Amino acid sequence: MSAPSFLPVAEPSVGEREVAYVHEAVASGWVSSIGAFVDRFEQDFAAFCGTRHAVAISNGTDSIFLALRAMGIGPGDEVVVPALTFAAVGAVVHHVGATPVLADVHPDHWNLDPVAVERALTPSTKAVIAVHLYGHPADMDPILALCRPRGIAVIEDGAEAHGARYKGRTVGSIGDVGSFSFYGNKVITTGEGGALVSDDAELLARVRHWKDHAMSPERRYYHTEAGYNCRMTNLQAALGVAQLERAPELLAWRARLLGWYRDALADVPGLTLNPHLDWAEPVNWLVCAVLEPALAPTRDRLLAALRTQGIDTRPFFVPMADLPPYAACLAVGADGEGAPVAAWLGAAGFNLPTSERVTEADVRRIADALRREIPAATLA
Ligand SMILES: *Cc1c(COP(=O)(O)O)cnc(C)c1O
């Protein structure tokens, strides 16, 4: 038997439809950010999220940045972000001149713990960024109940959760504005890309203004502010239109794959997979595994052992409090200062191969490797 192939954590699923639409976009000559595919992508993505409007943006970092900008958030303001997330969420708060406050996540679903959020709020809090981590929706209702009466904006970051639902509502449509990334490893990709979705036409009009050099619609080359260029190209949008048409198929293979992992790993002790609360319809961005706290110190050795067997893995995000730009930020947990749940998940979690070409037999091989290596790691 030949050596088993290398199984990557993630790779894009790009088919003939994507190739055809991108070809059409190139052939049309509309290769920059004006073009029929950009308009179509915005309409299709708004419909996908169940919002009235969408604005296509250069990437999922610029999209959160522009949401904060368009909301007028800046120096002197505080923005609550999860203590465990992709770091761009903290970076954009920093870039508008506001202060990130880290709220711990909940052990059951790994997203903002509403108890920690409540403790993190101050009179300076202007927004909460609820990230739907690894495809599982955040617990939005208690967050909205805290924010709405206080006039605090709720920004959803659905970069890892396209199409996931919370109590029947699609993520991105629940707060004031939803932000998305279409980076190559996300559930839906445009290569590089992002979007903001909302029912608030005025907010998105301000975003459109900022994203395109803040040029006056009445007077050409008259710029009302120092604007930005955060546009998506027609080529990227063409890829995105094809991906959205294939979304049911893309979500289905991800769900099927996670099902295989759940079956194959059911008997492996010390390990839990992606959360799935009863109020949630998650999407499987990446297959996640978390070691019980006692095994957390063995994680990196375990991942190295898997790598020698052709199994790619990735550790969970490093908790925000452990990153130099955010180490001085206030971190607030459910019971006091600090973010112990984020610390545990950051140390104990890892992602397993989540690619379309992983077969059920591959998953069984991965499960066998974990079954062998986890006890060995415990004894080492
Ligand atoms: C990927 C990601 C982003 C950033 O998106 P880019 O398109 O890479 O800029 C932001 N937030 C979260 C939660 C992400 O996973």
Mutate to test the pocket of ligand 1, among 89, 181, 185 (most ligand atoms within 8 A of CB): 181
Give the strands of the sheet with 99-103, arranged side by side.
Answer: 53-57, 194-198, 177-181, 153-157, 125-131, 78-82, 99-103, 331-332
- Distances in Å between the Cα of 211 and the Cα atoms of 43, 79, 88, 181, 197 are 18, 21, 18, 16, 14
Q: Can you give the pLDDT at residue 6?
A: 86
Say which residues have a Cβ less than 8 Å from residue 347's Cβ, sequence separation at least 6: 296, 297, 299
Looking at residue 5, its pLDDT comes to 75
Q: If you measure from the C-alpha of residue 131 to the centroid of ligand 1, how many angstroms do you get, rounded to a whole number?
A: 10
Ligand 1 center from residue 352 Cα (angstroms) = 19
DSSP 112: B
Q: How far apart are CA 167 and CA 140, in angstroms?
A: 9
Estimate to the nearest angstrom the gap between the alpha carbon of 135 and the chain centroid: 7
If one counts every other C-beta atom within 10 angstroms of the C-beta of residue 192, the result is 15
- Ligand 1 centroid distance, CA of 87 (Å): 8
DSSP-assigned beta bridge partners for residue 81: 102
Q: How far is the CA of 181 from the centre of ligand 1 (A)?
A: 5
- Which atom of ligand 1 is nearest the CA belonging to 133? 13
Ligand 1 atom closest to the CA of 186, numbered from 1: 1
Q: Ligand 1 centre and the CA of 38: distance in Å?
A: 20
User: Residues lining ligand 1, judged by CB closer than 6 Å?
Assistant: 59-61, 85-86, 88-89, 131, 157, 159-160, 181, 183, 194
Give the residue whose CA is nearest to atom 6 of ligand 1. 60
Task: Determine which residue's CA is closest to atom 2 belonging to ligand 1.
Answer: 159
Q: Which residue has the tokens 């949630």?
A: 280
Q: How confident is the model at residue 269, as a pLDDT?
A: 87
| Alpha carbon of 1 to ligand 1 centroid (Å) | 40
Query: What number of residues does the chain have?
Result: 380
Nearest to 180 by CA among 59, 292, 96: 59
Ligand 1 centre distance from Cα of residue 85 (Å):
9
Record the pTM: 0.97
- Pocket test of ligand 1: the residue of 81, 86, 186, 230 to mutate, having most ligand atoms within 8 Å of its CB, is 86
Measured from the Cα of 160, ligand 1's closest atom is 15
Instruction: Give the dihedral of Cα atoms 38, 39, 43, 46; nearest 10 deg.
Output: 50
Low pLDDT (below 50) residues in the chain? 1-2, 379-380
- Residues 173-218 have pLDDT tens digits of 999 999 999 999 999 999 999 999 999 999 999 999 999 999 999 9
For position 1, what pLDDT does the model report?
Answer: 45
Residue recorded with tokens 């927004």: 127
